[in-house]
Structure 1
Amino acid sequence: MNCKDTFKRFIFIAFLFVSTTLAAQNTVVTGVVTDASTKKPLSFVTVSFTGSTIGTNTNDDGQYSLRSSKPYTQLKITYLSYKDAVVAVTPGKEQVLNIRLFPSAKQLNEVTIQAQKRAKYTNKENPAVELIRKVIANKDKNRPEAYNYVEYKEYDKMQFSLSNLSDKISEKKFFRKYKFIFDNRDSTSYAGKSLLPIYLVEKLSQVYYRKTPEKTKEVLLGEKGVNFGAAVDNEGVGQYFKHLYEKVDIYTNSIYLLGRQFLSPIADSAPTYYKFFITDTITTENNTKLVRLSFTPRNTNDVLFEGDIYITLDGNYAVQQAGLTINKNINVNFVRMMHVDQEFETNPDGRYHLSRSNTYADFGVTAKRKGGLFGIRTITYKNYVVNKSQPDILYAPDINLEDDAVKHRSEQFWAENRLDTLTTAESKVYKNIDSLTHMASFRRTADLVTLLFAGFKGFGKFEVGPASTFYSFNPVEGLRLRVGGRTTVDFSKRWFLETYGAYGFKDEKWKYFFSGTYSLNAKSVYKFPQNFIRASFQRDTKIPGQELQFISEDNILLSFKRGTSDKYLYTDQYKIDYVHELENHLSFNFGGRKWVQTPAGSLYPFVNGPSNIFNNLTTTELSAGIRYAPNEQFYQGKLFRIPIINQYPILSLDFTAGLKNVLSGQYSYQKLRARADKRFYIAPLGFSDVSIEGGRIFGQVPYPLLDIHRANQSYAYVIDSYNLMNFLEFVSDKYASVSIDQHFGGFFFNKVPLLKKLKWRETASFKALYGGLGANNNPTLNSSVYQFPVDNNGAPITYALGNKPYMEASVGVENIFKFVRVDLVKRLSYLNHPDIAPFGVRVKIKFDF
């Protein structure tokens, strides 16, 4: 296999990994609407089935697509300043109808423009605004939560496709072996798009809601999805896609899509941010009168929708249909278009419930090229029952079926229970991807992709990595080489073994790690919900105060540091841990540890009093923790799982007790730590990530056992650390801190033409740390504890926080080249300490939409 073919195959399969005909009774109509005179396409033309609320708007190229399972026979086309058109359609078939619209016969012989008399949009005495205020006033009674009990079946289908690939690709020599993939195209699901499905997940659930006490219970009945094999974490990819395509509830004030908060057109404050227009009134085939209410942002740079909603005039002022489109002027990466269609059905009591929600998104690296990735999430709701009480036991968390049962449903089960139909192309995805993953060429390239993106190379039951730790360097170890790996689920679904070995050529010492984990629920120990016992031993180096998230400390990129960074410890850790996560995202952990710390670098030796020298510090600890993260989502990586931040809080409480004279433990103490994290959406000013943390130590301990505050001397911007604090600069036995990281999302830059074109976004942050040290733990007041370390000149390098807090702030720009964040950080206090940096430029790599 030559290099050229390898590269082509890598590009093809990497794209799959990273991005990783309707039933005969359906009526499907597609086509283009043009001006009869100029032949140019017309955008935002309303196309609908006559006598229904099933409609759409044409896109920029004049293209439209409509579908319905009902036997409609006519199509109505309306556009301002053009004559309405009505054309016949054939029920139950797929058809293409290209339509020409003629300008209205009414002409103006003379037009006089008088700017001073131009009508200005206002909310006052505006019938459209009065109508939307009635919709807002009636929101509570039109939501499902207005009932005491609600139950329904929910079918969730998510599909991603390569879009508008050239027909010539499958004819090229390299791609001929994949022809069965390229031939599976769908041109009817969305107008103007030729879709090649590569990812499909279906989920069927029974949902129960109880108002008092409020509880929602989802019972998973069946789940089915494509499987790319061990190279891709299919569940993790699915979680990330669902994060982009959150369920849309138009009755909430905020709608979350693409990780952002969009203000709903019927939010309480909607009249402040949207303009509303009454554009049509219709009567459905059931003699229901509806008003079509169109809306557009007052400021097109704000994170808002544009589109239409249909409102009932029966006194309930309920939404009967909605079409929401992300306006094109907001600062979003890689998204050419995103549109949400929702349909509502009538309950027996005359109210409406959501029956179908479609979310479409067109992703691409550039706005000009038509090829890319196209995603569709369709959620169908049926068998809606209201005010039927259920026993309390129904809401208990143990009635969910086991994963093996719901993930291995028969084809007959899906044929009988699927609440929607699969297109011909969708129905072939499972077989096609299965065939693809069994091809040797695919597996070889998948290994290469996994190595580059996840850092691991698989060898069946064992994988080697992560690659980023193979080489690094630091002042104590010099050149450091490391190799390691771990077992996979092919080895065992219950036992997981992990190890590495490393050697420092300067200190001439071996470092190593061994761990064995037993999964109590026969799941991977890296997947939710975790339930495992782990025993481990680690002999390695550590920088006091350096705490990293999702990155190994010997990552090559972290070898580059500012200032003096030679404060190290050799550590031996014998640990046993138990972790148990519940389905409601409440988790517990218990552990025991014997910890031997030996000073290295400029920390050598530990000194107590004027002449007492200690070569090591031994402690024995028991710990317990509780954490609650409601509705938490994860993207599953090879080495770790990354939480996908959403609007829900994360609360944690940890307790540690040091045991003296147990396994040679030298100190008795207790540590308590509490933390809360929350993302606050502040429309239209973006969002703010806020963290509050506090801790307290009871007892007398030497400085390595105090709270050594998280510092950062690398050139990377670390969200959870103080980026201009030196390692081991501050220690405390009691502290409280707050961190605010604000993302404006381009709110200011979007108003500057050049910056708007670059799609740069503004950030700002502030961090403050209050703390103190009791007399019993302060070596200047108590000679029986270890003295704080000093530099070569005898000047102190470690301090206790005084009456003022440590503070730093930053302003920055993110989304440079779509994934780079650069911050200018300013240290605001304790500027007289030696070897500190009052200013600094820090860089963070972050991919975001």
Structure 2
Amino acid sequence: MCFISFLNRRPCVRLFCLLLLVFTGLAAGPAAAQPSITTIKGNVTDAVTNERLIGVSVFVPGTSLGTSTDYEGNYQLRTNQAVSKVQFSYLGYGPVALPVSPGKDQTLDVRLQPDARQLSEVQVVGKKRKVKYSNKDNPAVDLIRLIVDNKYKNRPERYDYLQYVQYEKTQMSLVNTPAKLRRNIFLRKYDFILENLDTTVLPGKAILPFYVQEEVAQHFFRKEPESRKKLVEAEKKVNFGEYIDNKGVMAYMKHMYQDIDIYENNIPILTNQFLSPIADMAPAFYKFYLKDTVTAETGQKLAKLLFEPRNPTAFMFTGELYVTLDGAYAVQRVDMAVSKGVSINWVRDLKVSQDFERGQDGRYQLSKSQLKVDFGMSQHSDMGFYGERVVSYQDYKLHEPQPDAFYDGPALVLSQHTEQQSEAYWESVRQDSLSAAEANTYTTLDSLVQMKSYNRTMDWATALIAGYKRLGPDVEIGPINAFYSFNPVEGFRLRLGGRTTDNFSKKVMLDAYTAYGFKDEKWKYYVGGSYSLTGRSVWSFPVKALRVSYLKDTRIPGQDLQFVQEDNILLSFKRGENDKLLYNETYNLEYLHEFENHFSYKLGFRNWQQSPAGSLQFVRAGEAGDDQEPAMLSNLTTSEATLELRWAPNEQFLQGKLYRTPVSGRNPVVTLRAAAGLKGAMDSQYAYQKVALNMYKRFYLSQLGYSDVVAEGGYIFGQVPFPLLTIHRANQSYAYQLQAYNLMNFLEFVSDQYASLHIDHTFNGFIFNKIPLLKKTKFREFITLKALYGKVREENQPSANPNVLHFPVFADGQQATYTLARKPYIETSVGVGNILNFFRVDLVKRLTYLNHPNVSDLGVRATFKFDF
């Protein structure tokens, strides 16, 4: 996949790349004198049992500088501020304060003395590393099983009716040392930005917030029949200007930072699935230790449990739970983190904390949830990003039903004044106040995007990363990666195109290009336009739009690309013979109507003329025994009415200007396509009907990873020549394509009825993490199976019917196109992903039809994938 096209349809990735380029990719300017760094590290243990203590607070008294010990009891604190001592504090132990030497690296190993007087009741069980861990006769495991047994009655879903108010705040910040941020050329140019540095969040670092998003919503839940409704009352976010897809960034942030439910078996964070410490199978994957029993200020007796994964590299947490001992066994608080051994790209630290408060009926309900993530290229790099999402819950109301009609319609409803609330309103509804730096981010970004120099910088950065360059306020040219390409038919090909921007019109979008092949000496053209019937942007969900287009260009039969242009320069490099193309002249009309429940339909009409190019020929089969030369056709003309029905319940997607990228979730996506050939309409030569059903679903298998499964089937009614049969998706490039057969040649197989199954399984490091030398690489394993079976009825077989066209042949007369009547086409692959955090390489094996000419049974393919 082309890197530029990939970034163009990933708004958040594009934003991060732009920010890295603008804020950190520029030369840093002359070196300035840096303050000396004080580094303090070591481990903290129990002075009695020698047990290493998890979660000990390590801080500089009188400041906000601090950290905590990891799952092995280790800590590290770095700062450029003047410090003279550091303090260690832990529940159930006496505090310890030690002197430090400013400006030096030093190791302080600390032994804390238990102090039972701090608690009204303490029972120390203590994990002893010299004793082999066992679930048997382990009171901590017995308690976890009681928590699991009582999970349902402690979940919101146990209530017949439930409603509450939710406030959430999400922020992203640039991270570096204060000195490096202050001498960055870009930031120094806009020195007012530097006034917004915050040095209180990360020890020894400064954060510069560049994204803040807030939302206030009411949530409603009904048990029977199960329904959920979310009413968004207010929404506020920074505006990056016209060069960044602001809504796309917001959607991606929501996808990254999903709601965390400790009672779910698997918890999605940063596109990965983590096993909950109170999952049904948690005792098989976690180690548990009963640390204390504590009487809280309210008089509630709580048990404190420590937990850690049996395999430190698995997608699990390390931390502590506080659980009620009143017979309900509800979680009262959880603090957990992901160990550094877990293979999460660009994540240096990730922490989750949740608090639960006792409600009206005595049950504990979530009151606050906090996720903090420190992103960086490496563990030791100063530069990076810091992300935080804080969600507060209040005004719980139980057993207050709403009218049945209230739950009708879309599950998400936006207030008419969602983005128009006053600052006084926000001050009244914020359950979690903004820091000074966060509050100033709104005005700082507003000032920045108004500056001409900023917009010039972003214009060139967008051209470099996303492939489109502004040509005035209303038009941008691109994609740059398609300006030059080559193929055996056209030879050297030049293309120039562009599209209108939102400044031209939010309801109308126009795009066009022209191209010229120096070998075939032909001009190619495309012009298209979309008109929104909703009053919003053409791409704003739910879409209700009309699109018309005209195309005169080449196409490779059997190549079906998503998000990438066929004349992408990287796709010019292909294996084998690739000289059978089509010249297409197509008129297309489409109407798309989407609904809030993610059902949509698309009506269309197209008329297109196909002419053979290169070595491809349209040769009529002719009568059996006829001595005359078979008739050679110069083109085929077809008119077709189309209908597409799509259902994707609760679908999330990332919306760009030209592409919408679905985000894989638990729900299936079902697409039904139908088409009818209209003989006689605009010189159409054929009457036929087509129907195809495609079903996609991702299956999460917890610690075993996940599988993407696609099942598809289709049928064509009527007599048609081979260009109108189903030409199965092939791939002769060296890029791995998930939806294509990567060792199949273009035009190798056709069918008028078929069924296929694709399974792509990601182990997410489950195997490699258990191999000592490989687990440090953070590689991920993939296996894939693709199977296709089909046939061509006798009426569409050239050997049996003189009215259809001969199947294509190679220059030496060998057959090039086949049916699948004898056996299915099968290929499989094993792959290694996360190479350099981006790349996946697959070794593909073709298992059937190995006797066909110009095919390989083995091949290496690579693709690019951005994922955490």
Cα distance change of structure 1 residues 401 and 133 upon mapping to structure 2, 3 Å threshold: closer
Amino acid corresponding to residue 282 of structure 1 in structure 2: V
Q: Which shifted more, 244-253 or 161-170?
A: 161-170
Instruction: Specify the alignment match of 1:560 in structure 2.
Output: 573
CA root-mean-square deviation: 2.9
Contact 2:231 2:414 in 1 (8 A): no
> TM-score, with normalisation over the residues of structure 1?
0.88
* Match among 799, 802, 805 for residue 786 of structure 1: 805
| C-alpha contact 2:44 2:56 (8 A) present in aligned 1 | no
Contact 1:291 1:310 survives alignment (8 Å): yes
Partner of 2:610: 597
For residues 821 and 687 of structure 2, the distance between their equivalents in structure 1, rounded to whole angstroms, comes to 26
Per-residue deviation, 1:734: 0.7
Q: Please say if residues 761 and 814 of structure 1, whose CA atoms lie closer than 8 Å, have aligned partners that are also in contact.
A: yes
Contact 2:230 2:411 in 1 (8 A): no
Partner of 2:211 in structure 1? 199
Deviation for aligned residue 1:471: 0.6
Give the one of 724, 727, 730 matched to 1:711: 730
CA contact (8 A) 1:13 1:446 kept: no
Aligned partners of 2:320, 2:113: CA distance in 1, in Å?
23
Match of 2:232 among 220, 233, 236: 220
**Separation (CA, whole Å) in 2 of partners of 1:399 and 1:813:** 39
Does 2:170 match 1:151?
A: no
CA contact (8 A) 1:472 1:480 kept: yes
Tell me: CA distance 1:361–1:35, structure 2 relative to 1, closer, same or farther (3 Å). Answer: closer
TM alignment of 1:353-364, pairs within 5 A: 353-364=365-376
Letter in structure 2 aligned against 1:648: N
Q: Are residues 1:464 and 2:464 paired? A: no
State the alpha-carbon separation in 2 of the partners of residues 217 and 46 from structure 1. Answer: 41
After superposition, the Cα gap between the structure-2 partners of 1:63 and 1:585, relative to the gap in structure 1 and judged at 3 Å, is: farther
Residue 654 of structure 1: how far off its partner (Å): 1.0
Alpha-carbon contact 1:36-1:100 (below 8 Å) kept: yes
Residues 1:576 and 2:589 are matched in the alignment: yes
Partner Cα distance (1:845, 1:736) in 2: 28
1:14 aligns with 2:21: yes
Alpha-carbon distance, 1:639 to partner = 3.5
- Relative to 1, partners in 2 of residues 1:154 and 1:732: Cα closer, same or farther, differing over 3 Å? same
Q: What amino acid maps onto 1:197 in structure 2? A: P
Q: How far 1:47 moved relative to its partner?
A: 4.8
Distance verdict in 2 for CA 1:637–1:453, change over 3 Å: farther
Aligned partner of 1:113 in structure 2 is: none
Confirm or deny that 1:775 pairs with 2:782: no
> Structure 1 regions of 5+ residues with no counterpart?
1-8, 19-30, 50-54, 66-74, 88-98, 107-115
Indicate whether 1:104 and 2:79 are aligned: no
Residues 1:533 and 2:546 are matched in the alignment: yes
For each residue in 1:714-739, what CA deviation from the matched residue of structure 2 results, as whole angstroms up to 9, or x when unmatched?
A: 11111110000000000001111111
Of 457-466 and 426-435, deviating more is 457-466
CA apart distance, 1:139: 0.7
Alpha-carbon separation, structure 2, partners of 1:545 and 1:668: 22
Match of 2:290 in 1: 278
Give the distance between the partners of 2:688 and 2:257, measured in 1 at CA. Answer: 48
Matched, 1:825 2:844: yes
Q: Which residue, out of 603, 625, 648, partners 2:644?
A: 625
Q: In 1, Cα distance between the equivalents of 2:763 and 2:45?
A: 46
Structure 2 Cα separation of the partners of residues 800 and 174 of structure 1: 61
Q: 1:10 & 1:846 partners in 2: Cα distance?
A: 15
1:78 and 2:54 equivalent? no
The CA deviation at 1:646 is 2.7
2:680 is matched with which residue?
Answer: 661
Alignment of 1:63-74 (within 5 A): none
Q: Would the aligned equivalents of 1:57 and 1:64 in 2 still touch at CA under 8 Å?
A: no
SS at match of 1:557: helix
Quick one: distance in 1 between partners of 2:637 and 2:585? Answer: 9
Q: What pairs with 1:182-581 in structure 2 (closer than 5 Å)?
A: 182-189=194-201, 193-397=205-409, 405-458=417-470, 459-581=472-594
Is the 8 Å Cα contact of residues 708 and 730 (structure 1) preserved in structure 2? Answer: yes
Cα distance 1:307–1:15, how it changes in 2: closer, same or farther (>3 A)? Answer: farther
Cα separation, partners in 2 of 1:789 and 1:400, compared to 1, 3 Å:
closer
- Asked whether the 8 Å contact 1:47–1:64 carries over to 2, the reply is no
- Residues 62, 568 of structure 1: alpha-carbon distance in 2 compared, 3 angstrom cutoff: closer
1:159-200: CA deviations, max 9, x gaps?
011123333542566643322212212233455653211111
Local SS of the residue matching 2:686: coil
Give the Å deviation of 1:242. 2.3
Secondary structure at the counterpart of residue 799 of structure 1 = coil
Aligned to 2:829: 810
User: Quick one: which amino acid aligns to residue 651 of structure 1?
Assistant: V
Shift of 1:657: 1.1
- Relative distance call for 1:601 and 1:150 in structure 2 (3 A) is same
The one-letter amino acid of 1:316's match is: A
Does 552-561 or 581-590 show the bigger shift?
A: 581-590
| More deviation, 711-720/450-459 | 450-459
Gaps of 5+ in 2: 1-15, 26-38, 47-51, 60-65, 80-86, 98-107, 116-127, 623-628
Counterpart residue type for residue 707 of structure 2:
S
Amino acid corresponding to residue 85 of structure 1 in structure 2: P
Aligned match for 1:732, one of 745, 751, 760: 751
Say if 1:657 and 1:105 are closer, same or farther in 2 by CA, change over 3 A: closer
Q: Distance in 2 between matches of 1:803 and 1:582?
A: 43
Asked if structure 2 preserves the Cα contact closer than 8 Å seen for 1:45 and 1:77, the reply is: no
Query: Secondary structure, in 3 states, of the residue corresponding to 2:434?
Result: coil
Q: Is the Cα contact below 8 Å between 1:598 and 1:615 reproduced in 2?
A: yes
Kindly provide the CA deviation profile for residues 103-157 of structure 1, in whole angstroms up to 9, marking residues without a partner as x: 4399xxxxxxxxx995222112211111111110111111111001111111121
Distance in 2 (CA, whole Å) between partners of 1:490 and 1:601 is: 42
Once the two structures are TM-superposed, the CA of residue 845 in structure 1 deviates from its matched residue by: 1.4
Aligned-partner residue type, residue 787 of structure 1: H
CA distance in 2, matches of 1:173, 1:203: 34
**Residues 848 and 242 from structure 1, CA distance in 2 versus in 1: closer, same or farther, beyond 3 angstroms?**
same
For the residues of structure 1 that align with 2:813 and 2:111, how far apart are their CA atoms?
A: 89
Name which of structure 1's ranges 321-330 and 524-533 shifts more when overlaid on structure 2: 524-533
Contact 2:410 2:597 in 1 (8 A): no
Conserved? CA contact 1:498–1:514, under 8 Å: yes
CA distance in 1, matches of 2:368, 2:45: 38
Paired residues for 1:144-183 under 5 Å: 144-167=156-179, 169-171=181-183, 175-183=187-195
Shift of 1:100: 11
Q: How far apart in 2 are the matches of 1:341 and 1:538?
A: 55
Counterpart pick for 2:632 among 613, 623, 648: 613
SS in 2 for 1:255: strand
Conservation of the 8 A alpha-carbon contact between 1:343 and 1:355: yes
Note the C-alpha offset of 1:529.
Answer: 2.3
Shift of 1:372: 1.0
Spell out, residue by residue over 1:411-454, the C-alpha distance to the aligned partner (whole angstroms, 9 max, x if none). 12212222221111100001111111122221111011111221
Which structure is richer in relative contact order (CA contacts within 8 A, separation 6 or more)? 2
- Report the secondary structure of 1:197's partner residue: strand
Distance in 2 (CA, whole Å) between partners of 1:12 and 1:734 is 50
Quote the sequence identity (%).
49
Show CA shifts across 1:330-352 (max 9, x none): 22211111111001111100001
Is 1:44 matched with 2:91?
no
CA shift for structure 1 position 407: 1.6
The match for 1:684 is 703
Q: What is aligned with 1:123?
A: 135
